[in-house]
Chain A
Amino acid sequence: MSGVLRYLGQGAVYGLFAALIGTLSMYPVYDPFPPGHALVKLSLAYAGKPKGDCHRRTPEELAKLAPNMRKPFVCPRRRLPLLIELEMDGAVLYRDVLKPTGLAGDGPSRAYRRFTVPAGEHRLVARLRDTDRADGFDHARAEKVTLKAGQNLAIDFKGTAAGFTFN
């Protein structure tokens, strides 16, 4: 191969490589979100009430323990599972029982869910049960929201005091 052809060949290889890098580093454009829709995210990291009652140890019980473990008031480690529900315009979008995390079941229950919903006005209701009651919920919040296309609405649970927040 002559010198000129060689340089042309090298230029072609470099050009192709640059085109490959320049193209795949940006294209094709990724557009997974359907037009005319908004995103609702429901998330929490929250520990339910302890499973069982707390109790005060008797002097006999305390005496059986090592000195550094003699706590007079003890609660069970395991937490109750949470029941969570998200309703939109009267229809249940999501309902789940969230088990506590951790090997001993003493960690917070976790949830992180995404819902793609049509843009527009909606009535959203978030509910949570964190006790051992048989029915009903301990926390709930209803909001009428107007979601624009491409908007991201985050529903979070900020503990007993703040309850559900809509951001």
Chain B
Amino acid sequence: MWLEGWLDRAFGSGWNPMYHLGALGYFYFWVVVLSGIYLYIFFDTGIPNAFDSVEYLTNEQWWLGGVMRSLHRYASDALMVMMGLHIARLWAFDRCRGNRWFTWITGVPIMWLVFVAGVSGYWLVWDKLAQYVAIASTEWLDFLPIFGEPIARNFLSPKTFDSRFFTLLMFLHIAVPLIMLFVLWFHLQRVSRAKVNPARGLAIGTMVMLLALSMVEPATSQGIADLSRVPSPVKLDWFYLWPFPLAERWGAAAMWALAAVGTLLLAMIPWLPPERHGAAAVVDLDNCNGCTRCAEDCPYAAITMGRRTDGKPFERQAVVDADLCVRCGICVGACPTATPFRRATAPIPGIQLPALTVEELRRRVEAAAKGLVGDDRVMVFGCDHASEADKLCGPGVAAVSLPCAAMLPPSFIDYVLSRGLADGVVFAGCRDGECHFRFGVRWTEARLAGERDPHLRARVPRSRIARVWAAPTDWRRLEGELADFRARLRAMTEKEAAE
């Protein structure tokens, strides 16, 4: 979070690379694909054709072919880094458990596919490094009792090696990324509005970086492979090839065990331990008019619009898939019937969380506001995943924490201010671009700005609303902005009194 905060200051939340790790991974993948297509046009299979064709690209066509080769390598390395950071970040911020398990699980094979695609690419160059990788990887594979004879025997001596091998490898090197693309499609099935493209500025910046690196340190071959010699020393690409030195040192069995246990543990993370959560959002058909706003705003595609089942004169109704619902409450904030103003009947909206109903939320707001004193009274609507709003409480500050800031229907702000429960309202949610439930900050901002339903009523004075999008590590900033806001409220009150 400290690192993200620092990057926020340098890049702004819109370009912060830590908020675009998955999208950057996609970007690097496409750079690898496009540069690979160019390289394939000139690549020749066979011995020594493969090496010669890569040398031609690197040396005689350095101005494009060489750059493409370097881009191919460095973008694949960057993809590996992005993938590692993406996994680590989701795990560290606890965004892989509960109903997010599907996205996590489908990411595990992608990790293996990236590894296989990367390693197979190093074979194709047929230089000393390729020789090392070919022998080390086949010796590792030969531990598995699935081959009729050890495939490492193909590399015993120049006489035993067949040029046809390159055709097979080329097929593998193209087929694996295609399979990966297919698995990526599954990976994003339960993520609505998945961000697969990084911000334009970030894409340009990272592309310039890759090009500069390709010019300064072009990828080169390490001398043609010679099976009559031991390929040592070699310059390894440690992003992809680190398992092979370990397999040499520990043995193939140990490395397979490590790979199997590591993969299994990684796959089990969503259940280590299982997430405890309340009931999924429920739809109340008496109050649902099928307006689709909840389905539009759900970050995990947990709400669909189904055919009406209660005979009311509406075309559709919201249907919640409890297996996909993450209990963020964003749908409640989107529902136009979620309002605290209703007094004649219980304020039951078209959709709400059983663990925190609109009625209960209204009760909490009213109870919290009771103790407030002064002319700069503030009601803070906090987020369970951002800075702890409860810590701000004092004589002039009350706080109510929500699963997500976007769970609060805008009508609650109107309610707090028009009923005189507080002099100002503060939203204290996750850092911009970093929302725990992906769209909490975005939807809240859009609703307050009148760009997204439900709008905040025009009568609500905007000057009495503040937003502080702050991570738990931004506690001082939150305190500072709250103090500034209260000073502004006091000034407003004094001005109104004077008038």
Binding site for B on A (CB under 8 A): 1, 5-6, 9-10, 12-15, 17-18, 20-22, 24-27, 29-33, 38-39, 41, 43, 45, 101, 107-108, 110, 112, 150-152, 154, 156, 167
Q: Looking across the interface, which residue of chain A has its beta carbon closest to that of B145? A: A101
**Complex CA distance for A94 and B339, rounded to whole angstroms:** 82
Query: A110-B149, A112-B153, A167-B156 are known contacts. Are A152 and B229 too (CB-CB below 8 A)?
Result: yes
Closest 5 CB pairs of A and B: A9-B10, A45-B149, A31-B233, A33-B232, A167-B157
**Complex CA distance for A86 and B205, rounded to whole angstroms:** 59
Contact between chains at A26 and B235 (CB < 8 Å): yes
Interface: B427 (CB within 8 A): no
Min C-beta distance of B83 to chain A, whole Å: 13
**Chain A residues whose C-beta falls within 8 Å of the C-beta of B309 in the assembled complex:** none
Interface magnitude class on chain B: 35 or more
**Complex CA distance for A67 and B96, rounded to whole angstroms:** 60
Contact between chains at B81 and A6 (CB < 8 Å): no
* Contact among A6, A20, A26 with B10 in the assembled complex (CB-CB below 8 Å): A6
Q: Looking across the interface, which residue of chain A has its beta carbon closest to that of B76? A: A25
Say what secondary structure dominates the interface of chain B.
helix
**Chain A residues whose C-beta falls within 8 Å of the C-beta of B12 in the assembled complex:** 6
Contact between chains at B237 and A13 (CB < 8 Å): no
Query: A18-B212, A43-B156, A167-B157 are known contacts. Are A10 and B11 too (CB-CB below 8 A)?
Result: yes
Min C-beta distance of B156 to chain A, whole Å: 4
Contact between chains at B77 and A18 (CB < 8 Å): no
* Contact among B150, B209, B227, B232 with A45 in the assembled complex (CB-CB below 8 Å): B150
* Contact among A15, A32, A110, A156 with B245 in the assembled complex (CB-CB below 8 Å): A32
Query: A13-B17, A26-B237, A107-B148 are known contacts. Are A6 and B9 too (CB-CB below 8 A)?
Result: yes
**Complex CA distance for A33 and B216, rounded to whole angstroms:** 30
Min C-beta distance of B72 to chain A, whole Å: 11
**Complex CA distance for A141 and B73, rounded to whole angstroms:** 46
Contact between chains at A150 and B230 (CB < 8 Å): yes
Say what secondary structure dominates the interface of chain A.
mixed
Query: A18-B213, A107-B148, A112-B139 are known contacts. Are A30 and B235 too (CB-CB below 8 A)?
Result: yes
Q: Please, what's the 1-or-0 string for B199-218, where 1 marks a CB less than 8 Å from any CB in chain A?
A: 00000011011101100110
**Chain A residues whose C-beta falls within 8 Å of the C-beta of B208 in the assembled complex:** 14
Min C-beta distance of A22 to chain B, whole Å: 5
**Chain A residues whose C-beta falls within 8 Å of the C-beta of B228 in the assembled complex:** 151-152, 167
Interface: B234 (CB within 8 A): yes
* Contact among B145, B156, B237 with A25 in the assembled complex (CB-CB below 8 Å): B237
Interface: B361 (CB within 8 A): no
Q: Looking across the interface, which residue of chain B has its beta carbon closest to that of A111? A: B150
Contact between chains at A25 and B7 (CB < 8 Å): no
Interface: B296 (CB within 8 A): no
Interface: B275 (CB within 8 A): no
Enumerate 16 A-B pairs (CB-CB under 8 Å) in ascending A order.
A6-B9, A13-B11, A14-B209, A15-B209, A22-B213, A29-B235, A30-B232, A31-B234, A43-B152, A45-B149, A112-B152, A152-B229, A154-B160, A156-B153, A156-B156, A156-B160
Contact between chains at B156 and A20 (CB < 8 Å): no
Contact between chains at A112 and B238 (CB < 8 Å): no
**Complex CA distance for A43 and B148, rounded to whole angstroms:** 14
* Contact among A20, A22, A39, A110 with B230 in the assembled complex (CB-CB below 8 Å): A39
**Chain A residues whose C-beta falls within 8 Å of the C-beta of B230 in the assembled complex:** 33, 38-39, 150-152
Interface: B239 (CB within 8 A): yes
Contact between chains at A41 and B156 (CB < 8 Å): yes
Contact between chains at A43 and B150 (CB < 8 Å): yes
**Complex CA distance for A11 and B228, rounded to whole angstroms:** 46
